[in-house]
Chain A
Amino acid sequence: MTSTIESQPQSDQQTRHVRVAVIGSGFAGLGMAIRLRAQGVEDLVVLERGDDVGGTWRDNTYPGAACDVQSNLYSFSFAPNPEWPRTYSEQPEILAYLQDVARRFDVLRHHVFGAEVTEARWDAAAARWQVRTSAGDFSAQVLISAAGALADPSYPDIPGIEDFAGTVMHSARWDADHDLTGERVAVVGTGASAIQVVPSIQPVAGSVTVYQRTPPWVIPRGDRPTTAFERALYRRVPLVQKAVRGVLYAAREFLAVGITKDPRFLAPVQKLARTHLERQVRDPQLRATLTPDYTIGCKRILISNDWYPAVTAPNAEVVNAGIAEIRPHSVVTRDGVERPTDTLVLATGFHVTDLPIAHRITGRGGRTLAEVWADGMTTNRGSTVAGFPNLFLLVGPNVGVGHTSMVYMIESQIGYVSKAVQAMDDEGLATLETTQAAQDDYRALVAERSAGTVWLEGGCGSWYLDEHGHNTTLWPDFTFRFRRLTRTLDRQNYVGTTADAREQVPA
């Protein structure tokens, strides 16, 4: 996909000045751009390092990539799609949806593709963000980072991995041209991506060995093609689809009771998962290997009907001995077993608690977001950070959810940020910055809500928790509470300066 000429940076490397710059064009960046345009912000650029919109759904093209939330819920509220082919969509359909939304709402012309943001620095004198990208420099009054929480693949630090002579692929950087037919494939990891990719490659691969650290809880996937009748009904009576969306939302929010309030409410879900395992895996020893030792919900609950059949297939194997080293043509586990391997698939997730973009954004006083966050990622409402005027984060800390659609959280934040931008317009502000006090309050609120959650109580380590064991990624309450918190701008938690007043404010 290409952007139109007008949005391309000048070839003479001049800095392009815009009102708002958005980093990233996944669900968050796209939705933000659409919203800003709707409220009249036309001086807008979306900086995307990839060559297309879609984010997660552009990058994760591994076979079997699909969404774990029903499409009626995992989509923009303002852009319902009556044509979803299945209950749960696969990656190509979601990508096509996002491409279509970008076209329909006419935001592609604001995009600059191939623009990787390498540095964004607050220029106090100009009261602007100076943004360097691989496609030229930009300056923006407002910077919105929608760079994604699951956008930068995390590679495991296994001795010898650089010397592996076969093919290495991260699930989020799949090489479709590489043919796995007949190959001995090693899959590292048993998270959300692994349980989708393994069933897709097992039938063609010569053998599949899954290296497991901690098994996931897996529940059945109630997936089916949508009927022509449903699609026609959704087309003609959009209210019906809206109602279905509401029901799905409510049903999933019940899970939040068990996950965030009292893990005892998860007992029936855990029973469902256990029965699913016992039905699909006969061998008690393998069953034991695949049975988690933590409460369900502590890590992301996965849904699949074909994961267990795939790992019990005649050419498959689950190994939990732990990888000791990788040799040019094999993987060696701690028990001294060496498995000759042609291709290494790393389904090892993403940099979540150490977001790369945080190292690239430098606020007031020359400190990067990563430096400020060294003792934990604190924010006001997951969206703003003291010391970083005019910076807004989408899918920032504690905005993640595992039990329902991220799009709901993203839309909550988009509303919040658009109101902040609106307030700057209305009040004629040059800068808007949250306060340390607001941030401390919000941190206390998150900590208090996190206290009883299954992520902290469930007896597991997960990517949800940072190195100190604090929950800095997930929203620890009902999602409608987050929406309520972000419905209006908490103006009292912000300091704003007008262009005239700014001269007196020390940088």
Chain B
Amino acid sequence: MTATTVQRTVHAVGTTDGARLHATVSGSPQAPVTLVLAHGWTLSQASWDDVAAELAPDLAEGSVRLVRYDQRGHGRSTWGEVADDDVEIDLLGEDLATVLAALVPTGPVVLGGHSMGGMTIMALAAAHPDLIGERVRGVALVDTSAGRLATPPRTAAERLQQRLLPRVSSWAVAHSRRVDGWRRRVPPTAPRHQALVRGLLYGSAATDAMVLRGAEIMSASSVRSFAAFYPALGRHDKAQALAALRAVPAEVLVGETDKLTPVRHAERLAAALPDAHLQVVPDCGHMLPQERPDLVAAAIRRLLEPW
């Protein structure tokens, strides 16, 4: 029969406002430490699949337990009662606290966040500084930022774009069925679709398979998650809140050609956190968990080392 097996359970974690967050727990319940991974905007927990595969031996030998979950409004997770205008990264921080309380009520935790998932961790730290150091013993911040993502418009075209975007977004949400129809017509397998995704998110070393997989994961996201979280990302500002994270070791990683959260954001994070280790990965973009799952896993392993 099967020699070594890895346990897996799925959960729907309920939030106070009625959202149900889809979480997958793998590994032994007796593992000495739990790794919780939060994904980025318009992605889902599937964006961690490659990192999880790297960590498979650790899961199999029982040295770590892994929790992946879909952020609110992403993947299989529902929206709850929040209105689109009230969507903030802070809400995601609360969701992460809820996931921890439900699935990892005790024991040491290492958190990993990619892009918006990194911001989620910062929001958690801001709202629950008591958890940091006490429960949370390390953080991996991948392709992410503490704020000032929305650069002020410089040209007239940019100003116009900024004025129109909210209206375009709300139109898209209102007509999401039609927009989804268009999206179906240019599926992730379409070269046009992949070229766009590659240009925006990936570095020069990315393979076509990586780009396709990323495009697939994103195409599973809803128009609403795109539109509702976009303004929230612009408002995200946790430069002050980083103070709470100073108590724990941090691994900060960024792709050298990341266009969404460029290198300077990672540098700012590393500068604010005394026990941070910064890695700028050449030829990579904004999708390190896919582009270099080995490096991300190695960074996470360094955080897990004490156990």
Contacts and interface: CB of A to CB of B under 8 A. Distances in A.
A226 to B, nearest CB: 29
Interface residues of A, number: 27
Contact of A336 (B6, B44, B219): B6
A282 B8 contact: no
Interface string A335-354: 01111100000000000000
A286 B77 CA distance: 15
Interface in B187-203: 187-188
Contact of A282 (B2, B6, B12, B220): B220
Given A283-B44, A284-B216, A336 B11 contact: no
Contacts of A184: 9
A314 B187 CA distance: 24
B76 interface: yes
Contacts of B220: 282-284, 286
Interface residues of B, number: 33
Contacts of A324: 1-2
B219 A316 contact: no
Given A284-B216, A315-B20, A324-B1, A209 B10 contact: yes
B59 to A, nearest CB: 10
Contacts of A159: 1
Nearest to B177: A279
B33 to A, nearest CB: 20
Interface string B10-28: 1110000000111000100
A184 B12 CA distance: 12
A340 B219 contact: no
A209 B77 CA distance: 17
Contacts of A325: 1-2
A51 interface: no
Contacts of A313: 12, 20, 76
A338 B8 contact: yes
A316 B23 CA distance: 10
Contacts of A336: 2-6, 60
B75 interface: yes
B186 to A, nearest CB: 13
A160 to B, nearest CB: 8
Interface in A402-420: none
A87 interface: no
A337 B6 contact: yes
B11 A207 contact: yes
A314 B216 CA distance: 19
A332 interface: yes
Interface string A99-140: 000000000000000000000000000000000000000000
Contacts, number: 77
Given A278-B184, A284-B219, A207 B5 contact: no
B46 A285 contact: yes
A312 B9 contact: no
B8 A314 contact: no
B262 to A, nearest CB: 29
B222 interface: yes
Interface centre among B4, B12, B78 (most CB of A within 10 A): B12
A315 B22 contact: yes
Contact of A207 (B10, B26, B187): B10
A325 B5 CA distance: 11
Contacts of B77: 314
Interface centre among B8, B60, B75, B77 (most CB of A within 10 A): B8
A213 interface: no
Contact of B2 (A315, A332, A339): A332
B70 interface: yes
A316 B10 CA distance: 7
A206 interface: yes
Contacts of A284: 187-188, 216, 219-220
A315 B22 CA distance: 6
B22 A337 contact: no
Contact of B12 (A278, A285, A315, A332): A315
Interface in A269-318: 278, 282-286, 312-317
Nearest to B13: A314
A207 B166 CA distance: 38
B256 to A, nearest CB: 29
B7 interface: yes
Contacts of A285: 46, 216
A317 B12 CA distance: 11
A491 interface: no
Interface in B30-78: 44, 46, 60, 70, 75-78
A285 B216 CA distance: 8
B221 interface: yes
B12 A314 contact: yes
A221 interface: no
Interface in A200-256: 206-207, 209
A314 B78 contact: yes
Interface centre among B11, B21, B26 (most CB of A within 10 A): B11
A336 B59 CA distance: 12
Contacts of A340: 7, 9
Interface in A163-194: 184
Interface in B74-108: 75-78
A163 to B, nearest CB: 12
A282 B7 contact: no
Nearest to B22: A314
Interface in B272-302: none
A209 B46 CA distance: 18
A285 B47 CA distance: 12
A335 to B, nearest CB: 9
A338 B6 contact: yes
B7 A339 contact: yes
Given A282-B222, A284-B216, A332-B2, A314 B76 contact: yes
Contacts of A286: 220
B11 A206 contact: yes
A187 to B, nearest CB: 13
A283 to B, nearest CB: 4
B194 to A, nearest CB: 13
A264 interface: no
Given A285-B46, A285-B216, A315 B5 contact: no
5 nearest A-B residue pairs (beta carbon):
A315-B12, A314-B22, A314-B12, A338-B5, A283-B220
25 contacts: A206-B11, A207-B11, A282-B221, A283-B44, A283-B46, A283-B216, A283-B220, A313-B12, A314-B78, A315-B11, A315-B12, A315-B22, A325-B2, A330-B7, A332-B5, A336-B3, A337-B5, A337-B6, A337-B8, A337-B26, A338-B2, A338-B5, A338-B6, A339-B8, A340-B7
Interface of B: 1-12, 20-22, 26, 44, 46, 60, 70, 75-78, 184, 187-188, 216-217, 219-222
Given A314-B22, A325-B2, 14 more contacts: A184-B9, A207-B10, A207-B12, A278-B184, A282-B219, A282-B220, A284-B220, A286-B220, A314-B20, A315-B12, A324-B2, A337-B8, A338-B2, A338-B5
